[in-house]
Amino acid sequence: MRVTLAELAERFGCVLHGPPERTVSTVGTLTGAGPDAVAFFANPAYAQALSETRAGAVILDERAREQCPVPCLVTPNPYATYARVAALLHPAPPPAPGVHPSAVVAPDAKVAPSAEIGPHAVVGPRSEIGDGVVIGPGCTIGADVKIGAHTRLVARVVVLDRVRVGSRCLFQPGAVIGGDGFGFAEDFAHGGWVKVPQLGTVVIGDDVEVGANTTIDRGAIEDTVIEDGVKLDNLVMIAHNVRVGAHTVMAAMTGVAGSTRIGKRCMIGGSVGITGHISICDDVAIQGKSFVAQSIDKPGLYGGGALPADEAARWRRNAARFRQLDELAKRVRALEKSAKEKPESER
């Protein structure tokens, strides 16, 4: 797709500095883009690359405009504008309406005429597939599932019985939605662990993205809920009865234990562990590798991950000192107590 800079400026609310008739057809980096590409600048660390770029145009904010040697599109949020421009220039392929001959669709399933059911996909009884939905190769849709308009399951996605999915969602390969939650009752007197039936389901809002091999478990009795606009990276695990608030994002390898409530607009870094039965309020950011063991009721930035990598000998010394902290704290308290008990003249 080829568009003029004037068209981009008008569509995305930018101020154009440069020839409006110039056209571009792709996107690129500051260092790799040629005259046919749009790049973006949002990090001062790349100031040198900006000054040397050969891009057809650069998306940036007003503060960086004077540093740009090529035409530029000025906007308060360059990265978000770049994302929209990239989506315009490189749109997802449209659905190819119809059911592939190798797919298996239950006779009582409802598939919109504009939906695409790919090779070796399965759509279970009484399920409803909305307008413009793409069910990619090897996907499995269980019974009584509802998938909203223009949602795309890329490949090998599993959506199990009674799950509800909103519109314009995107599920990357290998995602599993609605598997059983990890629920077992202890009864060693009669053979060990007794499986607790997982009777709820998963309800997913609109504009949700779920990464590759991410799992969202169905609720034990009530439902697991993923609200509108949530973005989950690859290899995220959401346990049963969790609720994730609207527009929250989670990076890869984060795990959320059962019955936890996470607020809106939270940002959770990679490999974060969140224990069960707690609440995290709106607008919380959690740094990668942190472990959240208690509720958070105040917005802000939280961290507590493993110590960063260091020279091995120094890391071992610091680790040894960490194990001595409890004894050191006892000694400090004893010294403080002794100091308070001394007469004023001896202090």
One domain for residues 291 and 329: no
Residue 326's φ and ψ, nearest 5 degrees, are -65, -45
Residue 185 resides in a domain:
yes
One domain for residues 135 and 156: yes
Residue 36 structure tokens = 């046919």
One domain for residues 62 and 134: no
pTM for the structure as a whole:
0.90
The CATH number for 208's domain is 2.160.10.10
Place of tokens 């090998």: 156
One domain for residues 63 and 107: no
Q: Which amino acid is at 40?
A: F
One domain for residues 75 and 141: no
In the 8-state DSSP scheme, what is residue 266?
-
One domain for residues 324 and 277: no
Domains held by the chain: number: 3
One domain for residues 265 and 319: no
Alpha-carbon distance of 141 to 152, in angstroms, equals 13
Instruction: Give the CA distances from residue 132 to residues 31, 88, 298, in Å, rounded to whole numbers and listed in that order.
Output: 38, 18, 41
Residue 39: domain span: 3-89
One domain for residues 73 and 107: no
One domain for residues 74 and 122: no
Q: Which regions of the chain are under pLDDT 70?
A: 306, 345-347
Instruction: Give the CA distances from residue 93 to residues 2, 89, 135, 139, 169, in Å, rounded to whole numbers and listed in that order.
Output: 16, 12, 13, 18, 15
Quick one: which of 284, 300, 272 has its CA closest to 248?
284
pLDDT of residue 308: 76
Q: What is the pLDDT of residues 263-300, one digit of tens each?
A: 999 999 999 999 999 999 999 999 999 999 999 999 99
120 part of the active site: no
Residue of 17, 120, 190, 240 marked active site:
240
Answer with the one of 89, 117, 148 that is the final residue of a domain: 89
Q: Which amino acid is at 179?
A: G
One domain for residues 84 and 104: no
One domain for residues 276 and 321: no
One domain for residues 102 and 197: yes
Residue 102: other Cβ atoms inside 10 A:
12
**DSSP for 35-94, written as a single string:** TTEEEE---GGGHHHHHH---SEEEE-GGGGGG-SS-EEE-S-HHHHHHHHHHHHSPPPP
